[in-house]
């Protein structure tokens, strides 16, 4: 049995708004109804009664919520509107980034955002873009100061190269490491092998600054470093982002400054000439070709099919017997996209049905709200008549209590109806986005780059099996409103 999604409900209403439909109880009931309609399990309610939304990130209840999130106690957070989560834009970004990092979902009922759906995930995309823009703005300001500090020979962060150390913000020779750095060049001239140099240094008992043995990679990096010949290069790399690699900047952005030399210019140049010659010799020219269905095509024997060498066929890597022309199978795949991605008629019918369903529920909500106000007016009138002595004490309950009971029933019905409207709008937004994107996908297919096509194929295709003269296509991207088409089988003639 599939485990229900565990969700938390977030309730925050400032003191001045704790009236009528802005009461915490109303928000909680609305969220509960939505979660129950989705079949989710409510494991926690986080209430911040009378708390301002200016800053909520460091509150104890917020920390508890994040602890529950990271432990897996909750997998999603439901709240009535984004303003209830917080009014501070920076904190809203942090909330969204934290939930995305934990692969959890945010559900805002008023804005129809449910990040467990394809349309809702766009919210994370937008948030990520804004956050990235903010980070880039900060990085740009920091980067602007880097060349100036580099020109002044000041440290830009990080340790000094092996053989050097920082002293009073100036780079100076490290008397203990410098002889080892010099010996490295001398040994390389002698044996011309980075691995051999590393082995000899290790055998002599020398170690890197962190106590590790030298490797050929470390030796190569230090041999290339021009600091050893008295030329320090700074501002020549930049990060591609958190957790990603670094890349070399254009030489026009590099900043060079003099520093104490460990080896002569001639020795450094001789070593690097050998390195360049070796690297040129070992360089392999490769050509990356993006084949649309490589690895997704399966042979009836179970093997994966690829395009080998300069072939114009996909071929089974296991039995080596099954094959099909690249153009043939990719044309068949494109033909089947439209059957999978739906038609204009589907989209129009869906939009009409969704609009009618939402309008009907909203009209019900409006009518119940009007009836509730009328009952409240009748209750007030009854109370005034009683206070004026026009209704006897014994008769008051007979007039007032039925009105009060009916009013409570309507009051309880409103959040439930609101949750149904929230759910309909969420589903409409989700499916409408899926259907719209699907239609655009098919129409624009031939304008996409091979890399983009491949990325899309990986997202919507489980596998394509070729067994004998039959092709079976399994798509795995299922728009919520419609079922996937049956597995499509096609006959083909091997070209």
Q: How is the chain split among helix, strand and coil, in percent rounded to 5?
A: 55, 15, 30
Active site residue 252: no
Among the listed residues 295, 289, 290, 291, the one whose alpha carbon sits nearest the alpha carbon of residue 465:
295
Is-contact 304 465, C-beta < 8 A? no
Written as one string, the DSSP assignment of 59-126 is: SHHHHHHHHHHHHTS-SEEEES-HHHH-S-HHHHHHHHHHHHHTT-EEEETTTTEETTSTTTHHHHHH
CB distance 177 to 160 below 8 Å: no
Structure tokens at 75: 């997998």
Q: Is the dihedral of CA 349, 351, 352, 358 positive or negative?
A: positive
Nearest Cα residue to 292 out of 305, 302, 276, 277: 305
Hey, CA dihedral for 370, 414, 109, 427, is it positive or negative? negative
The closest of 299, 422, 318, 409 to 35, measured between CA atoms, is: 422
Helix (H) or strand (E) holding 480: none
Work out the end-to-end distance of the chain between its first and last CA atoms, rounded to an integer number of angstroms.
47
Tokens representing 187 are 């040994």
Is residue 463 within 8 A of residue 305, CB to CB? The reply is no
Determine phi and psi for 237, rounding to 5 degrees.
Answer: -130, 160
Strand ranges in 203-254 using DSSP code E only, listed in sequence order: 231-234, 237-239, 246-248
CA distance 447 to 137: 33
Catalytic residue among 14, 215, 226, 294: 14
- Of 261, 259, 263, 262, the residue nearest 169 (C-alpha): 259
Contact indicator for 331, 325 with CB cutoff of 8 Å: no
CB of 68 closer than 8 Å to CB of 46: no
Distance in angstroms (rounded) separating the CA atoms of residues 364 and 358: 10
The Cα 30–Cα 37 span in angstroms is 11
Tokens of 374: 């009328």
- How far lies 257's CA from each of 185, 212, 226, 236, in Å? 22, 30, 11, 13
Spatial CA neighbour of 428 closest among 127, 117, 141:
117
Task: Tell me how crowded residue 79 is: count the other CB atoms within 10 A of its CB.
Answer: 24
The span from the CA of 426 to the CA of 432, in Å, is: 10
Active site (catalytic) residues? 14
């Amino acid at each position: 049995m599939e485990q229900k999604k565990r969700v938390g409900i977030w309730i925050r209403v400032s003191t001045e708004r704790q009236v009528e439909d802005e009461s915490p109880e109303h928000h909680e009931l609305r969220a509960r109804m939505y979660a129950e309609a989705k079949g989710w399990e409510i494991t926690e309610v986080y209430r911040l009664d009378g708390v301002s939304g200016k800053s909520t990130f460091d509150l104890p209840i917020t920390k508890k919520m994040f602890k529950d999130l990271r432990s897996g106690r909750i997998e999603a957070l439901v709240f009535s509107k984004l303003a209830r989560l917080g009014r501070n834009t920076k904190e809203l970004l942090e909330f969204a980034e934290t939930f995305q990092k934990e692969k959890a979902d945010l559900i805002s009922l008023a804005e129809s955002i449910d990040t467990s759906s394809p349309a809702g995930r766009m919210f994370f995309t937008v948030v990520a873009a804004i956050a990235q823009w903010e980070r880039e703005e900060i990085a740009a300001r920091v980067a602007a100061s880097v060349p100036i500090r580099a020109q002044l020979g000041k440290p830009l962060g990080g340790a000094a190269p092996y053989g050097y150390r920082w002293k009073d913000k100036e780079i100076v020779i490290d008397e203990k490491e410098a002889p080892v750095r010099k010996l490295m060049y001398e040994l390389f001239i002698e044996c011309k092998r980075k691995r051999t140099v590393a082995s000899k240094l290790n055998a002599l008992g020398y170690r890197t600054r962190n106590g590790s043995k030298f490797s050929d990679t470390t030796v190569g990096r230090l041999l290339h470093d021009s600091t050893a010949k008295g030329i320090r290069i700074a501002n020549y790399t930049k990060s591609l982002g958190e957790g990603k690699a670094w890349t070399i900047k254009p030489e026009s952005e590099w900043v060079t400054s003099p520093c104490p030399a460990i080896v002569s210019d001639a020795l450094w140049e001789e070593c690097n000439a050998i390195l360049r010659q070796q690297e040129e010799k070992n360089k392999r020219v490769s050509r990356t070709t993006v084949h649309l269905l490589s690895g997704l095509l399966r042979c009836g024997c179970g093997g994966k099919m690829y395009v080998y060498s300069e072939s114009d066929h996909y071929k089974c890597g296991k039995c080596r017997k099954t094959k099909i022309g690249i153009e043939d199978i990719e044309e068949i795949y494109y033909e089947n996209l439209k059957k999978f991605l739906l038609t204009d008629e589907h989209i129009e019918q869906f939009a009409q049905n969704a609009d009618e369903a939402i309008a009907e529920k909203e009209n019900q909500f409006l009518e119940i709200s009007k009836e509730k106000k009328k009952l409240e007016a009748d209750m007030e009138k009854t109370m005034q008549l009683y206070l004026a002595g026009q209704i006897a004490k014994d008769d008051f309950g007979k007039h007032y209590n039925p009105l009060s009971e009916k009013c409570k029933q309507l009051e309880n019905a409103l959040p439930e109806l609101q949750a149904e409207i929230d759910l309909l709008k969420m589903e409409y937004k989700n499916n409408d986005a899926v259907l719209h994107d699907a239609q655009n996908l098919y129409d624009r297919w031939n304008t996409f780059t091979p890399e983009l096509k491949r990325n899309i194929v990986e997202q919507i295709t489980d596998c394509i099996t070729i067994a004998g003269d039959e092709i079976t296509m399994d798509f795995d991207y299922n728009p919520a409103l419609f079922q996937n088409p049956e597995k499509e089988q096609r006959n083909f003639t091997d070209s």
